[in-house]
Amino acid sequence: METLTGLRGLDRIIVPIRLTSQSKIVFQCYPGVPCFKLCCSDLFLPLTPYDIIRIRDKLKLSTDEFLLLYTEPFMLPRSGLPIVRVKMFDNEEKTCPFLNESGCSIYEVRPLACRYYPLGLGIFRNREEKRNEDVYYLVKEGFCQGLDSGNEMTVEEYRISQGIPENEEPIKEWAEIIMKKESLGPVEVPEKSLELFFMVSSNPERFRTFILESKFLEIFEVSEKELEEIKKDDLKLLQFGFRWLKTVLFGENLVKKKKEAPSVKRIKPF
């Protein structure tokens, strides 16, 4: 099970209890809590493609500027797929660069992983029923005093209170790609496939340029309407990108090839 929202390295304690959306947890976090901000340093903090768009826009940066200033590449351990994570400051505490005196400076657009904490999310493949199931687990860290205090709530109530569903929905297909790759086991992945995945996952501007300035439109069918949307809407671009990745990486026919497409070196699926 690839954990998409695991925050910490070796010092995290994951309570091995599988939770469902209706499981009850007891937790509260607020600026006056004695451990305030202790959870915002020394993290493996992955960014989803939607996190990148939202934080970049909040900081009024280009994608390249944002990636250069605040992130570093990171290989998801089980799937072997490259994504980006937040580059912690090079100080003793390895503080998150978005942390300031009063807390998270990008709170309204904080990453999905931060919204989840102290929960973690994994996606479990139910082979018998041939469907994916979201599973949750608790990350219990000694310093977090918010656990076991406050009101009892279900996992789903917690997710809603943190704005998780609306931040998760746009990257559902992306998570499916990661999970599908993981389910294939340790197969060798062609370099080109990794590059394509990384481009769509981290840099919408580059992906848009790739669509508009390479032979892409000679090869793949993209309707006029979709092309107009892709040109001006990053979210539409991402959704198209995930369908295209499923097409080129797994042979799913979600973005059709033109009949008269020029012959190009075939991208080897995973």
- CA–CA separation, 148 vs 71, rounded Å? 33
Quick one: 67 or 106, whose CB is closer to ligand SF4?
106
Q: Which two tokens stand for residue 81?
A: 């797929």
* Least spacing, CB of residue 114 vs ligand SF4, in Å: 3
- How far, CA to CA in Å, does 43 sit from each of 94, 142, 175, 217? 8, 15, 20, 40
Quick one: 39 or 222, whose CB is closer to ligand SF4?
39
* Least spacing, CB of residue 254 vs ligand SF4, in Å: 33
Quick one: 104 or 153, whose CB is closer to ligand SF4?
104
Q: Write a three-state SS string for 163-225.
A: CHHHHHHHHHHHHHHHHHHHHCCCCCCCHHHHHHHHHHHHCHHHHHHHHHHCCHHHHECCCHH
* Least spacing, CB of residue 40 vs ligand SF4, in Å: 3
Quick one: 139 or 248, whose CB is closer to ligand SF4?
139
CA 106 to chain CA centroid, Å, is 17
* Least spacing, CB of residue 9 vs ligand SF4, in Å: 14
Give residues in contact with ligand SF4 (CB under 6 A).
29, 33, 35-36, 38-40, 43, 45, 96, 98-99, 104, 106, 110-111, 114, 117-118, 143-146
* Least spacing, CB of residue 106 vs ligand SF4, in Å: 6
Placement of tokens 């090869």 in the chain: 219
Q: Which two tokens stand for residue 212?
A: 């508009």
Reduced to 3 states (helix: H, G, I; strand: E, B; else coil), residue 263 is coil
Would you say 63 and 50 are in contact if contact means Cβ atoms under 8 Å apart? no
Quick one: 2 or 51, whose CB is closer to ligand SF4?
51
Which single residue brings its beta carbon nearest to ligand SF4? 146
For the chain, give percent helix, strand, coil, nearest 5.
40, 20, 40
Quick one: 88 or 177, whose CB is closer to ligand SF4?
88
* Least spacing, CB of residue 174 vs ligand SF4, in Å: 20
Placement of tokens 């973005």 in the chain: 255
Quick one: 20 or 149, whose CB is closer to ligand SF4?
149
- Residue 159 CB: number of other CB atoms within 10 A? 21
* Least spacing, CB of residue 242 vs ligand SF4, in Å: 24
